[in-house]
Amino acid sequence: MRLLLLVLLAGLLTTACASTLAKGSSDKPPLDVPPPPPHAIELPAEPLEPVGEIPSAPGGTSPGSSRPARPAPPKPEPSKPETKPDTTPATAPSTEPAPVPTPPAASNPQLRTPQTADTSTAARNVRTMIDRARKMLSSVNFPPLSDERKKAYNEAQLFIQQAEDALKAGNIVFAQASASKAETLATQLSR
């Protein structure tokens, strides 16, 4: 019970001291804050066209987010410009032709990486690299390897599998890169 009273008393004293210190610290003059700089907002001469709906990811969530997408805010109705009574004398209608709308730009064709001229030769070279990497890995005794070297061994196996999958899919460039990485790791492990 005494402990509870001491804690409450200490809490009251610290609160009272803190508020007294805060009130009594007006020895310094107030800060001289300059006014904000002037700025002008220019409105476009023509009203902006609304942007169409942006397609959402499947399942109603945005990519990289586990939360459901927020509902779209209500669209404001376009404001009608105020019409002012015409106080100027009537003039002849202008003879300028109406502006011709520009056609939408044609979509650019998808860029592709250049393939080798002879894909069968390239595929054969990749297959040779895969076989060399497999042969070197088969000569490595896995159980006594350190954890770091075991990780490298598993990565080499993964690169071999990726290279084979890429060959089946016809992606010679990726298959060659994966086979080269597998062969490099296997060479280091076999030493």
Report the pLDDT value the prediction gives residue 158, as an integer from 0 to 100: 96
Residue 86 clears pLDDT 60, i.e. is over it: no
Q: How many residues does the chain have?
A: 191
Give 53's pLDDT tier (boundaries 50, 70, 90): confident
Predicted TM-score (pTM) above 0.85: no
Element (H, E) at 3: helix 2-23
Report the pLDDT value the prediction gives residue 119, as an integer from 0 to 100: 80
Distance CA 188, CA 178 (A): 16
Inter-residue contact 160 to 133 (CB < 8 Å): yes
CA distances 158 to 100, 110, 139, 152, 189, Å, are: 58, 30, 17, 10, 15
Q: What confidence tens digit (pLDDT) does each residue in 106-120 have? A: 555 554 555 545 788
Domain limits, the chain: 119-141+151-190
